[in-house]
Amino acid sequence: MNFRTSVSSASLIASVLLFGGAANAQTDAGAQQDAGGLDEIVVTAQRRSEKLQEVPLTIAAVTSENLTRAGVASVRDLQTLVSGLTFGGTGNLAAPAIRGVSSTVTVAGTENGNALYIDGVYQSAQVLLNAEFPDVERIEVLKGPQGTLFGRNAIGGAIRVITQAPSFTPTMRVSLEAGQYLGSGSSRSAPHLNAKAYVSGPIVADLLAASVSGGINYTPGFQTRVTTGQRVGEINRKNIRAKLLFTPTTNASLTLAGHYVTNNTPGELLGTPYKGLTAASAYPGSVIPTKPWQTDYNDDPFVSPLTTRLRDHGVSGTLKLDFDAGTLTSISAYNLTRNKQSTSIHNANGTLSCLLNFSCIAFVYQIRQRVYQQDVNFSSREFGIFSFTAGAFYYNSKTNTLNFTGGPLQPIAPIFPLLTQDNEAKTKAYAAYGEVTVKPTDRLSLIAGVRQSHEVKNDVAALPTAGPIKKTFNATTPRFSVKYEVTPQLNAYATYSVGYKSGLSGVTNPGSIPPFAPVKPERLNASEIGLKFASSDLTANLSGFYYDYKNKQESVNRGAGGQVVVQNTGPVKMYGLDFDANARITREFSVRGGVTWIPKAEYRDFPDANGTSLLRVPFDAGMPGTCSTGGCGTFVPGTLDATGTRLLRAPKVTANGTIAFDNDSFDASATLSYSSAVKNDIFGVQTQPAYALLSAQAGYKFDGIRVGVYGRNLTNKAIILANLTSLAGFTTIYNQPREVGVSVSYAF
């Protein structure tokens, strides 16, 4: 890149900043590269392969190389590379937020408002957000509603994971990371092993190819049980994926795929009472953890506080037929998820009195979800000035949920846990969608699309007894875009789109007022303008967006017993800016960064917000330690006027930057990510202060072998990764502490 080009590019980007708008993007694995320049970015965000410059959306496309360099092991860690993407959740139930649009709801029959797709297959359970993918080609993060082409619950956006297709050229990649959590601060020293492998090649030349990938991620834990001083919090994940590619003709292909994931990770559930806020603290003699990465619990032979078992397996078939008129794609899939979590939700070692008063309790959550789905779409070639995409989608799920609470006499006379919830949710959804692109001139493109959705929920609860309750939800979600090519390097666009997330029947709302109240569907109307600039050595993108968000669903504690209740908020107003830039300074040296700024993300009308307050159930007056009502020391559900307050898990600013050096024999990079403060519960008790995370790596390459060193969370920041508010306290689950290690890989 010469100096004159740099100055011209910088001047153009300065002009871009004056006008507002754009898209977030990084390099793509399948891109073609100019000599010494940046990769050409190709995405499939509109159900067809297109250059990023041609897509009037805000998109971040991250390659497997980007993920490795930034120390990203799972989709949940992707927030260090993509501004505007953050994660919350409970245990291994991760909840992504895109531009502050997220969900706190985890009851049966609900799904996150940011859709997850793996090789085109919709993942309603989203438990694979924590899983490692040894065969990732790229990940696309689509910001803003995707209600037309992707539809189902893509109200905030979509995360699309694309894994590598089987190759007719023999290919192999193996990698091993051996790391050590250093025990910095209040964490424990612990080893960490992460191994991945990918093998692909032909079975019958030009006809049949196969690939197999797998991985193991293990650590004995970096947390401390305060009572015994022992190290706890094992993380043990395993996954395997296999694909078979059949190409009987030059215009037809069939890919059969299957995966199996296991996740035995008590470390994802063992939490710390936020600032010591646990029901156990009201009982002298209880052991209360007070620092990040410290935990404790009451031993329980029936409701083990050290259990999280996830089993997820699925199969899919993808058929592609190329015709003169376009490409027909059919995706059929089946998935089964079984998830069991058990934990001591007071996160302390409570006294016998605390247990007998139902203040210290264990909790078990079991879910089994079976899903069938079918998606058929046709993407045409250009017929003069016209092209189109049309398709249909079918979704069928059945979810069974069981909740248990530990018996109060278990320390002296163990009894089986008490069943507190048993329900079944059935969902059938149908959708038809289409989108037309018209190019009246070479520079001007007009896009119009619509999706019509019909969904039937048929739910029943054995405990508390309710149902069957049948609810039907219908939605029309349009999209309109205008794109203009200002110059061969600069595009401008404006888009209006609608996102939709279906409602709930109310069968999981026994504590609502009135009981079993249904929940309205969410709807988000989004307007966005943007500019996209790309040259051989610089890309820069800017977008501005405005959201009118209605009937947002929030999960809260409410009523006797603190049942989880889902309620709708009033309207929500959101607006902000997205910006990113990617520059290759020399052939070997590049820099990349992005920032998302959301100055406004507030509840405009939410006078009856419910949540867990800091008030407690008192002990009997004048009788210290006596509790005739039960539940003394627990936190009382409360109501407040949240009108004008900021949304949960919606930071004002998120940013990231990466510097990288890479030549034939050596590579090195460092990634810094930042987030401003974020609120995790409606009362604002569990607030995460602003933080920055730093990771770095370097490696030497020879004969297909790479030997390197790496460091993750070098600033050793304790970040709230997941949280839970309940009558028993405020649970906080933190991220992984500082880790350093060595790596070795081989590829051909």
> Which DSSP state fits 619?
P
**By C-alpha distance, which of 582, 565, 686, 562 is closest to 636?**
562
Q: Which band of pLDDT confidence, cut at 50, 70 and 90, is reported for residue 433?
A: very high
> Among 34-38, 630-634, 643-647, 714-718, whose mean pLDDT is lowest?
34-38
Beta-bridged to residue 51, according to DSSP, are 42
- Summarize pLDDT for 292-306 with one digit per residue, the tens: 999 998 886 555 556
Token pair of 162 as six digits: 């694309």
Token pair of 483 as six digits: 């794109």
Residues 716 and 184 sit within 8 Å (Cβ to Cβ)? yes
Say what the pLDDT of residue 213 is: 95
Q: Give the span between the Cα atoms of 37 and 250, in whole angstroms.
A: 32
Q: Give the span between the Cα atoms of 735 and 737, in whole angstroms.
A: 6
Q: Give the span between the Cα atoms of 61 and 160, in whole angstroms.
A: 9
Span 229-253, mean pLDDT? 94
Q: Give the span between the Cα atoms of 133 and 63, in whole angstroms.
A: 12
- Fill in the amino acid letter for 411: P
Q: Give the span between the Cα atoms of 263 and 258, in whole angstroms.
A: 17
Does the structure show a pLDDT above 80 at 307? no
Q: Which band of pLDDT confidence, cut at 50, 70 and 90, is reported for residue 127?
A: confident
Q: Which band of pLDDT confidence, cut at 50, 70 and 90, is reported for residue 169?
A: very high
Residues 347 and 729 sit within 8 Å (Cβ to Cβ)? yes
Say what the pLDDT of residue 76 is: 79
Q: Residue 327's domain is classified under what CATH number?
A: 2.40.170.20
Taking residue 22's Cβ as centre, other Cβ atoms within 10 Å add up to 29
Q: Give the span between the Cα atoms of 342 and 305, in whole angstroms.
A: 5
- Summarize pLDDT for 581-624 with one digit per residue, the tens: 999 999 999 999 999 999 999 999 999 888 889 999 999 887 77
CB burial class (10 A; 0-12, 13-18, 19+) of residue 275?
Answer: exposed
- Fill in the amino acid letter for 714: L
Q: Give the span between the Cα atoms of 688 and 403, in whole angstroms.
A: 29
- How many residues are given for the chain? 748
Q: Which band of pLDDT confidence, cut at 50, 70 and 90, is reported for residue 495?
A: very high
Q: Give the span between the Cα atoms of 323 and 288, in whole angstroms.
A: 66
Say what the pLDDT of residue 166 is: 96
Say what the pLDDT of residue 131 is: 72
Mean pLDDT of the chain: 86
Domain hosting 638: range is: 3-747
Q: Which band of pLDDT confidence, cut at 50, 70 and 90, is reported for residue 23?
A: very low
Token pair of 239 as six digits: 């996954």
Q: How far is CA 388 from CA 17, 42, 382, 435, 477, in A?
A: 32, 19, 8, 6, 17
Residues 290 and 280 sit within 8 Å (Cβ to Cβ)? no
Residues 709 and 695 sit within 8 Å (Cβ to Cβ)? no
Q: Give the span between the Cα atoms of 510 and 515, in whole angstroms.
A: 5
CA 299 to chain centre: 32
Say what the pLDDT of residue 41 is: 65
Phi/psi zone of residue 18: left (φ > 0), alpha (ψ -120 to 50 degrees), beta? alpha
Beta-bridged to residue 470, according to DSSP, are 458
Query: Sign of torsion, CA 310 100 565 158?
Result: negative
Say what the pLDDT of residue 306 is: 62
Q: Which band of pLDDT confidence, cut at 50, 70 and 90, is reported for residue 558?
A: low
Span 440-448, mean pLDDT? 95
Q: What are phi and psi of 150, to 5 degrees?
A: -110, -30
Say what the pLDDT of residue 304 is: 53
CA 552 to chain centre: 18
Q: Give the span between the Cα atoms of 342 and 537, in whole angstroms.
A: 52
Span 695-705, mean pLDDT? 94
Does the structure show a pLDDT above 70 at 490? yes
Does the structure show a pLDDT above 90 at 448? yes
| Strand positions, DSSP E, 6-70 | 42-43, 50-51, 58-63
Phi/psi zone of residue 241: left (φ > 0), alpha (ψ -120 to 50 degrees), beta? beta
Q: Give the span between the Cα atoms of 30 and 46, in whole angstroms.
A: 17
Does the structure show a pLDDT above 60 at 252? yes
> Which DSSP state fits 306?
T
Does the structure show a pLDDT above 90 at 564? no
How many domains in the chain? 1
Q: Which band of pLDDT confidence, cut at 50, 70 and 90, is reported for residue 659?
A: very high
Q: Give the span between the Cα atoms of 135 and 229, in whole angstroms.
A: 39
Buried b (16+ CB within 10 A) or exposed e, 455-476: bbbbbbbeebebbebebebebe
Q: What share of the chain in percent tops pLDDT 90?
A: 62
Give 2 or 480, the one with higher predicted confidence. 480
Span 639-668, mean pLDDT? 94
Q: Give the span between the Cα atoms of 394 and 377, in whole angstroms.
A: 12
Q: Which band of pLDDT confidence, cut at 50, 70 and 90, is reported for residue 409?
A: very low
Q: Give the span between the Cα atoms of 370 and 335, in whole angstroms.
A: 6
Span 62-81, mean pLDDT? 79
Does the structure show a pLDDT above 50 at 518? yes
Bond prior to 417 in cis (omega within 30° of 0) = no
Does the structure show a pLDDT above 70 at 9? no
Residues 208 and 246 sit within 8 Å (Cβ to Cβ)? yes
Say what the pLDDT of residue 92 is: 59
Q: Which band of pLDDT confidence, cut at 50, 70 and 90, is reported for residue 163?
A: very high
Does the structure show a pLDDT above 60 at 27? no
Say what the pLDDT of residue 361 is: 83
Q: Give the span between the Cα atoms of 636 and 629, in whole angstroms.
A: 14
